[in-house]
Amino acid sequence: MLADVRSFVFEILKTGGWVMLPLVLASIAMVGIILERFWSLRSSVVVPSKLGAEVRAWARSAKIERDHLEKLRGNSPLGSILAAIVSHRQRSREVLREKAEDAGRIAVYRLNRYLNALGTIAIISPLMGLLGTISGLIRMFLVITTAGIGDANALAGGIGEALIATAAGLCVAIVAYLFHRYFKGRVGDLAVELEREAALLIDSLEHAPEVLPTPAPARAAR
């Protein structure tokens, strides 16, 4: 059964002509991007559920260790935004918002990683299929000019190349476009969550009571 399937796929690829090679490569790249984005755009990776509450709890302390701040910055995209806010927690609300927006733009840019490539695959795949269609038609007309219409096998080969190349290009393009739109929406939803957590932290710091240093203990009377 498996051998029959492999033989059928090989025959399809062979009949589709030379354009099937870039289409196969594009489909492999598409599958890789889709799997990588599903893994990287998980909520637990981008917006850890308890991270915002934990940061709000310790961000108002009088002193924050630099190592702790660096660890937060490398924790997740949310962590990088919260770290940018915490490191400037003594500044005004406007400054905190600017730092959060700067870090947020970088985080969203990284969330959109590879999506341009996925969109490019969605655009060029039908064009490659169309190129295969033209190649098949040219092949068919060359057969007609050299052998006439009596060579049915050669004519069928040209028609088959045109149809298979068109179908393959459309299949790759449809899948790439659907997942491109899905991931764009996913990034938008995650960006809203990042903005919400940043706003909660800024509000928490703004309304927090001033933290005073602990007075040194008095010397014992002699």
Residue 137 in domain: yes
User: How many domains is the chain partitioned into structurally?
Assistant: 1
Residue 44 in domain: yes
Question: In sequence order, which ranges of the chain are alpha helices (DSSP H)?
Answer: 2-16, 20-40, 43-46, 51-58, 66-73, 77-86, 93-111, 115-147, 152-206
Residue 111 in domain: yes
Which has the closest alpha carbon to 17: 100, 108, 131, 109? Answer: 131
Q: What is the mean pLDDT of residues 75-91?
A: 89
So what's the pLDDT on residue 172?
95
- For residue 61, give its domain range: 18-206
**pTM for the full predicted model:** 0.81
So what's the pLDDT on residue 219?
40
* Confidence band for 152, pLDDT divided at 50, 70 and 90: low
d(CA 71, CA 52): 14
Residue 36 in domain: yes
So what's the pLDDT on residue 222?
34
d(CA 134, CA 139): 8
Residue 220 in domain: no
Residue 176 in domain: yes
d(CA 153, CA 1): 28
Across the chain, mean pLDDT equals 83
Q: What is the mean pLDDT of residues 12-22?
A: 82
Residue 154 in domain: yes
> Are 78 and 191 within 8 A, CB to CB?
no
Residue 214 in domain: no
